[in-house]
Amino acid sequence: MTNQSTGPAPRVHQHPFVPYSPPRLDQAEGLRRAREFHEFLESRRSVRFFAPDPVPCEMIELAVAAANTAPSGAHHQPWKFVAVADPDLKHRIRAAAEHEERINYEGGRLPEPWRDALAPLETDADKSYLDVVPWLVVVFAEKSTPRPDGTLRKNYYVNESVGIACGLFIAALHTMGLATLTHTPNPMAFLSEILHRPATERPYILFPVGYPAPDCEVPDLRRKPLPEALEIY
């Protein structure tokens, strides 16, 4: 007599696992939500003209909470979001950013092809919006994380993990009607110095966060069409 199979053998885990059973949408509903989500994100733009109107701290907290749901290498979550509302700190960051950007734009540190690529955006060394916007959120990538015993835990896939978290942060801000810009002054070591960050972290992106100015303008750009962004095999 042969044993009758009753299905796959139960899984045996060496670490805690919990059930995961999200509601399964029918395809029509899933497509409807996807189209709405795409249309919503299609309206998002990077902004360099901000209103000084206050933004509640809770909005920043919720945006970071959304970013904190991002997948990460080994679930190490190698990010730290540092939110700055203090006017003096914001001004120090602006002054340091403009110093580096003047070297980039006027001192020849940016090669000509790079300057040509930036020309349609009409960017320059002036970063006055860093003083105007109510919040600056600096994202730091954690190369390693201190353990309670003082040793360091190495983090993996840091750039990929932090990049995904930043994308969710941007989407969360847009959901609340806020605008931002992925500002990456190069080099960015001044952010670690001004904000007294540990050596285990390195600056990743500086996000100014606020409402667009009433007279805000953005470059007339077009996004890559889907056939150029997608290959199906």
Query: How does pLDDT run across 158-213, given as a tens digit for each residue?
Result: 999 999 999 999 999 999 999 999 999 889 999 999 999 999 999 999 999 999 99
Residue 106 above 60 pLDDT? yes
Q: Return the closest-CA partner of residue 169 out of 94, 89, 66.
A: 66
Residue 5 above 70 pLDDT? no
Calculate mean pLDDT across residues 38-67: 98
pLDDT for residue 115:
86
Within 87-200, strands assigned E span: 135-142, 144-146, 152-154, 179-180
> DSSP label at 25?
P
Q: What is the pTM of this model?
A: 0.93
Domain ranges of the chain: 47-85+132-211
Give the whole-angstrom CA distance, residue 181 versus residue 203. Answer: 15
Answer yes or no: are the C-beta atoms of 212 and 47 closer than 8 Å: yes
Residue 42 above 70 pLDDT? yes
Q: Return the closest-CA partner of residue 205 out of 164, 174, 176, 175.
A: 164
CATH code for the structural domain at 47-85+132-211: 3.40.109.10
Residue 87 pLDDT level (bands cut at 50, 70, 90): very high
